[in-house]
Chain A
Amino acid sequence: MHYPWWYVPVATGPMLIALIATVHVLVAHYAVGGGFFLAVETSFAYRTGNQAYLAYLRRHAQFFILLTVVFGAITGVGIWWTIGLASPLATQVLIQTFVFGWAMEWVFFVLEITSAFGFFYFWGRLPPGVHRAFGWIYAWAAWISLVLITGITGFMLHPGRWLEPGHRSFWIAFFNPQLVPQVVARTGGALLLSSLYVYLHAAWTLRHQAGLRELVARRSARPALLGAALLLVGGGWWAALLPESARALIPAAAALNILMTLAVGISALVVVLVYLGPMKNPGWLSVGFAGTLWLLGLAGFSVGEFIREAVRKPYIIYNVVFGHQVFPEQVVRMREQGFLESGLWTRAWMAAHYPQVFVSDMAATPQAGVLPSAIAAQEGIAPAAFSPAFSSSSTPEAAPGGRTSLAGPEGRLSMVGPGGRIDEARLLQLSQADQVQIGRVLFMYHCNDCHAERDGYSPAGRLLQGRPKPRMVELVRHLHEHRFAMPPWSGSEEEAQVLAEYLATITPPRPAGMSPELGAPGR
């Protein structure tokens, strides 16, 4: 609500994040695991004097750089770009919390790039000892950057004690409950996935050198299986330390149920194939076999990443920022003030299009006499349920530890603009067409972070198909009760009705011919 919402037709903005993030991790994990592959195997080749293997590793290093330094690095920047566009408030919180985490990561990026280029471009010039050192510098720098970024992504899923009063420090945020499990799982994933990249590359480039190809197959099988073991341990640990809502979401959502089964099944299949193939029968390593393994690995990884993103719902950062760019501690106040009134950009739109609903501050009596706490009690919502970090403060503008709430004074947005404030009651006095138009604005800012409109990703229209308007109003008012993965409704009663007016226009009627017919629902 501090920022304008970016409308991405059909896909929704956050799905762009998921798309770019998934593509990135498929290369980024290879960038980490591949670094260890090159360091370990180059050391081995130097030690054994295996010139043919060294020549292969040099070719692999070129492939590695072209993929990781270009595509991997730029898509990594792309994630940063996209989260700022599609989730600006959450990104702002992350940047302010972890600015030095990212700064440290940058230091390791510099080391990664320099060592990677030195390793490849100075191949044959650097003495073996120095050359090996470059390989190891790259490998460890890449792994440390993995740890640093995992501290941030782990925080998004489970900030842990950071939410408690007086614990808002960088270190508590970084050493969150998800850090170690995710580092273990990601390290394992990096080792496993990089072996699959190596198989694909070796199968293609060494297709006429059977002996060398089998050496690569055998030697990369061990890290692959070690990676699988780490993935298993880390994955189980990750699941065990998930917040309750995230753990509950996996069996509760049919899609996640299926995807989880797929992730586990594909991973198991990859392990079996690696064991039976490269480990026991390295001669099996054909382009077809390696390509299949690689595709299975990518599929398993993509599914796993999607699950990791999806279980955060309804938050971008668990208990800190909702998907619709609202701080939990703002919700109660926003219900009193109104959603449109609370947002800088929604209010600007209203001022430009419907100045007649504005009244002077003195005249406006939104929900007269009803205190936020009374609304909360009526709805069965305690502010603490959304943001324990801010609940114990005696004054609403001060967060525990004497720090200012992320949401600002009184957990609300500052008032802007001439013309006073929006009188919620006047919204319902507008024509139905006007209400539909305003309802669409509410949809954009409150719903479009997860739902397309009529068609596209998780479209609201299709999900509500056949639902009569009165039920929609009820649904909007009790959003979080309808489903715990939904955020609480963050607007007024009147705005809930206005949103329902819009939803009714994008919702198809109940499919005909369904038995039993219990009467035509009122629309």
Chain B
Amino acid sequence: MTPTFLVEQAGGMLPAPWWFVQFFKVLGFTLHAVLMHLWYAGLLWAMVLAVWGSANGRHAAGRLMRQMPVLVALGVNWGIVPLLFVQAAYARVFYPATIYMAWFWLGIVVLLIPAYYGVYIYSFGLRRPWPNEVPAGHRADADSEPPGGSGKEFSPEGQTASPSARPAHFPSENGGLLAGVVPAMPVWRLAAGWVSAVLFLLIGFFFVNGFTLMTRQELFRQDHWQAVWGPHTLAGAALGTGLNLADPRLLPRWLMFFSLAWTTLVVWWVVDTAWRASRPSETYRRWVARTAWKLYLAGAIGFGLFGSWYLHTWSAEVRAAMFSWPVGVLTVLTAISPGPVWLGLAWSARQGTPPGRALALLLALGQLAVLALNASSRQVVQNLELRPFFAVLEQPETVQWSPLIVFLVFFVLGAGVLGWMLWQLWQYRHPAIPSA
């Protein structure tokens, strides 16, 4: 018997050509992923290094955390685009899925606020370059480029903070719980960083729940209503207390994303080391070269393992489609895409020299391709999973051509203004030399 699906088929229309929606959804998600990965995996990495890392590790973590407020702001902002086009084209499955888990979905926003403030609290605590944060051979005050910058630039009172101005309540001085372990951060600031790291992981978990629910057939099958919705409803109304824990796709997908985020984080670290305004010490750069390829390999292995697990949770139809010509090419490319980036890192390590700026840029483009391929494959899988009950690509279109063109004009002009601003920031990245 053909199952009946609780998806409204009539009415509604795409305000843009389907290819436009798919393109911007994939593009937006790719750009969002670049930054999202940095907090998803990066916060945890930075917190671990801050507590247990070597001097070089703490320095690397501090670099990332100084940048984190800006990364989070831009990352959240870039998430608007894919979410907008999800609602434009997938509303009929997106809204029921999020209503099913409404409190958790709303929880994303509620948790994001303390998570983001936690990042700021931690980041502001890094404004002073403590001696034991600075790797060997590195000038204590050299690492002052924004965002975050040095204590000279951004101490709350606008005064230069020297190591001797170190507050007395630092745990390492007072013999607190983390004495000797945590080098240079008040416990409450460190705790804020840890809380943020955990909250961002939780937020990622809720997101994966929402987007796997959206394509879960049982959620929309009338004959499964009682089993799936029943425990989470009151008089037919959703309580918003459901999650997608029974879905076999959930865990591998979440872990696969984390692994992928890990690889992006490593590339960001390499690029930051090569392109930062104040040249880091040779010791530090060599340490980055020695370590990066190993860390990337760990992420790539995780991606392969969890990706294979995730692939096994696909339905037979989806799997068949993903390995048929020509989509199969995309699947294979997606699977092997981290390879070239890893090879670049390994080659650099073998040379004994850290990646230069050109190679770092090449690696960044390679990782961008990894993310773009993943986003494209993800999009194809999403459409295939929905096909039995919601033909996304066959929705009627009433294209709003003139607003679309005006948007593109704004997009180009905006990119121009943005380019001008970034150029200015690059030009004036070094601190001004104080006048006598």
CA distance A406 to B15 in the complex (A): 13
Interface positions of A from 51 to 91, Cβ below 8 Å from B: 55, 58-59, 66, 69-71, 73-75, 77-78, 80-82, 84-85, 88, 91
CA distance A124 to B428 in the complex (A): 10
CA distance A326 to B428 in the complex (A): 56
Interface status of A444 (Cβ within 8 A of chain B): yes
CA distance A171 to B113 in the complex (A): 35
Q: Mark B68-112, 1 if CB is under 8 A from A, else 0.
A: 001001101110110111011001101110111010011011101
Residues from chain B with a CB closer than 8 A to the CB of A417 are 4, 222
Of chain B, the residue at the smallest CB distance from A349 is B236
- Whether A77 pairs with B235 at a CB distance below 8 angstroms is no
Q: Within the complex, what minimum Cβ distance (angstroms) separates A208 from chain B?
A: 13
Interface status of B358 (Cβ within 8 A of chain A): no
- Whether A440 pairs with B235 at a CB distance below 8 angstroms is yes
Select A348's contact among B6, B237, B396, B422, beta carbons within 8 Å.
B6
Select A114's contact among B11, B84, B398, B418, beta carbons within 8 Å.
B418
Residues from chain A with a CB closer than 8 A to the CB of B229 are 4, 348
Interface status of A407 (Cβ within 8 A of chain B): yes
CA distance A448 to B414 in the complex (A): 43
Of chain A, the residue at the smallest CB distance from B11 is A408
**Stretch in contact with the other chain, from B252-260, B319-327, B399-407:** B399-407
Interface status of B9 (Cβ within 8 A of chain A): yes
**Stretch in contact with the other chain, from A99-107, A232-240, A268-276:** A99-107
Interface status of A97 (Cβ within 8 A of chain B): yes
Residues from chain A with a CB closer than 8 A to the CB of B84 are 95, 99, 102-103, 106
Interface status of A306 (Cβ within 8 A of chain B): no
- Whether A100 pairs with B96 at a CB distance below 8 angstroms is no
Residues from chain B with a CB closer than 8 A to the CB of A125 are 146, 428-432
Q: Within the complex, what minimum Cβ distance (angstroms) separates A62 from chain B?
A: 8
- Whether B8 pairs with A349 at a CB distance below 8 angstroms is no
- Whether B15 pairs with A409 at a CB distance below 8 angstroms is no
- Whether A406 pairs with B11 at a CB distance below 8 angstroms is yes
Of chain A, the residue at the smallest CB distance from B91 is A92
Q: Within the complex, what minimum Cβ distance (angstroms) separates A99 from chain B?
A: 5
Q: Mark B405-436, 1 if CB is under 8 A from A, else 0.
A: 01100110010011001101100111110000
Residues from chain A with a CB closer than 8 A to the CB of B100 are 4
- Whether A81 pairs with B106 at a CB distance below 8 angstroms is yes
Residues from chain A with a CB closer than 8 A to the CB of B148 are 121
Residues from chain B with a CB closer than 8 A to the CB of A55 are 158
Of chain A, the residue at the smallest CB distance from B84 is A102
Residues from chain A with a CB closer than 8 A to the CB of B421 are 111, 114-115, 118, 134, 137
Residues from chain B with a CB closer than 8 A to the CB of A97 are 15
Residues from chain A with a CB closer than 8 A to the CB of B99 are 3-6, 85, 88
- Whether B235 pairs with A103 at a CB distance below 8 angstroms is no
A78-B410 contact, Cβ under 8 Å, with A352-B226, A406-B12: no
- Whether B402 pairs with A171 at a CB distance below 8 angstroms is yes
CA distance A344 to B100 in the complex (A): 15
Residues from chain B with a CB closer than 8 A to the CB of A349 are 225, 233, 236
Interface of B is mostly: helix
Q: Within the complex, what minimum Cβ distance (angstroms) separates B357 from chain A?
A: 22
Interface status of B16 (Cβ within 8 A of chain A): yes
Interface status of A50 (Cβ within 8 A of chain B): no
- Whether B146 pairs with A121 at a CB distance below 8 angstroms is yes
- Whether B73 pairs with A418 at a CB distance below 8 angstroms is no
Of chain B, the residue at the smallest CB distance from A441 is B236
Select A70's contact among B5, B116, B233, B238, beta carbons within 8 Å.
B116
CA distance A6 to B97 in the complex (A): 11
Residues from chain B with a CB closer than 8 A to the CB of A58 are 158
Interface status of A458 (Cβ within 8 A of chain B): no
A126-B428 contact, Cβ under 8 Å, with A2-B8, A82-B106, A111-B414: yes
Interface status of A371 (Cβ within 8 A of chain B): no
Q: Mark B1-29, 1 if CB is under 8 A from A, else 0.
A: 10011111111111110000000100000
- Whether A107 pairs with B414 at a CB distance below 8 angstroms is yes
CA distance A16 to B5 in the complex (A): 30
Interface status of B149 (Cβ within 8 A of chain A): yes
CA distance A73 to B76 in the complex (A): 9
- Whether A117 pairs with B10 at a CB distance below 8 angstroms is no
Interface status of B141 (Cβ within 8 A of chain A): no
Interface status of A404 (Cβ within 8 A of chain B): yes
Of chain B, the residue at the smallest CB distance from A343 is B236
Select B236's contact among A100, A103, A107, A346, beta carbons within 8 Å.
A346
Q: Could you say which of B70, B109, B240, B432 has the most chain A C-beta atoms within 10 Å of its C-beta? A: B109
CA distance A448 to B237 in the complex (A): 10
CA distance A102 to B222 in the complex (A): 34
- Whether A92 pairs with B106 at a CB distance below 8 angstroms is no
Of chain A, the residue at the smallest CB distance from B1 is A418
- Whether B403 pairs with A100 at a CB distance below 8 angstroms is yes
Residues from chain B with a CB closer than 8 A to the CB of A96 are 12-15, 88, 91
Residues from chain B with a CB closer than 8 A to the CB of A3 are 95-96, 99
- Whether B106 pairs with A73 at a CB distance below 8 angstroms is no
- Whether B235 pairs with A437 at a CB distance below 8 angstroms is yes
Select A345's contact among B6, B76, B108, B112, beta carbons within 8 Å.
B6
- Whether B230 pairs with A99 at a CB distance below 8 angstroms is no
Residues from chain A with a CB closer than 8 A to the CB of B52 are none
- Whether B11 pairs with A121 at a CB distance below 8 angstroms is no
Residues from chain A with a CB closer than 8 A to the CB of B418 are 110-111, 114
- Whether B236 pairs with A345 at a CB distance below 8 angstroms is yes
A352-B428 contact, Cβ under 8 Å, with A81-B108, A344-B6: no
Interface status of B117 (Cβ within 8 A of chain A): yes
CA distance A70 to B9 in the complex (A): 39
Select A444's contact among B8, B116, B236, beta carbons within 8 Å.
B236
List 21 interface pairs A-B (beta carbons < 8 Å), by A numbering. Answer: A4-B238, A6-B99, A8-B240, A70-B117, A75-B113, A81-B108, A91-B95, A96-B14, A101-B403, A102-B80, A103-B84, A110-B78, A114-B74, A125-B429, A127-B428, A344-B6, A351-B225, A352-B226, A404-B11, A407-B11, A444-B237
Apart from A103-B81, A403-B13, A418-B222, list 20 A-B contacts with CB within 8 A. A4-B229, A7-B239, A58-B158, A70-B113, A84-B94, A85-B240, A92-B87, A100-B16, A104-B407, A106-B77, A108-B414, A109-B80, A113-B73, A117-B73, A121-B70, A124-B153, A130-B428, A345-B6, A352-B225, A406-B11
Instruction: Name A residues whose Cβ lies closer than 8 Å to a Cβ of B.
Output: 2-8, 16, 55, 58-59, 66, 69-71, 73-75, 77-78, 80-82, 84-85, 88, 91-92, 95-97, 99-104, 106-111, 113-115, 117-118, 121-122, 124-127, 130, 134, 137, 169-171, 344-346, 348-349, 351-352, 403-409, 413-414, 416-418, 437, 440-441, 443-445, 448
Closest 6 CB pairs of A and B: A408-B10, A408-B11, A100-B403, A7-B237, A121-B146, A349-B236
